[in-house]
Amino acid sequence: MADPFAAYHKALFVALDAGLSQSIYDFVPEDAVYPYVQIERHVTVQQNGLVARKDGVFTYLTVWSEYKGQKEVLEIMETIYTILNDAQLTLDAGRMVRCFVETRDTARDMDEQTFTGNVKLFTVLEHS
């Protein structure tokens, strides 16, 4: 039984990279150019399936921007919503059952110069 978790992470990265003009990072380099999107973390919770094992995955994405105000962050989050809400990404292992954007929020970073946007996804993955 193949674990779809790594396949999901890869497909998520590919979908974001194809759909956004901003850089996508798992690990942000020191010389990263704003704006960019970071895949912050995943939290997996087991879903009890009657036939197949399923996992629910909360994925946290952060948009980073130095634009003066929230406009750029909001526009990038809307594009992420368009790409991933109700998406059916093809995985190398397992199957994506459902993906939706659960929450979106914006905030001014502690440096008072950077704005962030946070997107929380919930995805159900089925093992094969």
- 4-14 exposure pattern, b = at least 16 Cβ within 10 A, e = fewer: bbebbbebbee
Structure pTM? 0.93
* pLDDT given at position 47: 77
Q: Phi-psi region for residue 82, left (φ > 0), alpha (ψ -120 to 50) or beta?
A: alpha
* pLDDT given at position 127: 87
* Sequence-separated (6 or more) residues with CB below 8 Å from residue 17: 24
pLDDT in tens for each of the 128 residues of the chain?
567 999 999 999 999 999 999 999 999 999 999 999 999 999 999 876 666 788 999 999 999 999 999 999 999 999 999 999 999 999 999 999 999 999 999 999 898 899 999 999 999 999 87
What is d(CA 116, CA 40) in angstroms, rounded to the nearest whole number? 12
* pLDDT given at position 3: 77
* pLDDT given at position 50: 66
Cis peptide before 35 (omega within 30 of 0): yes
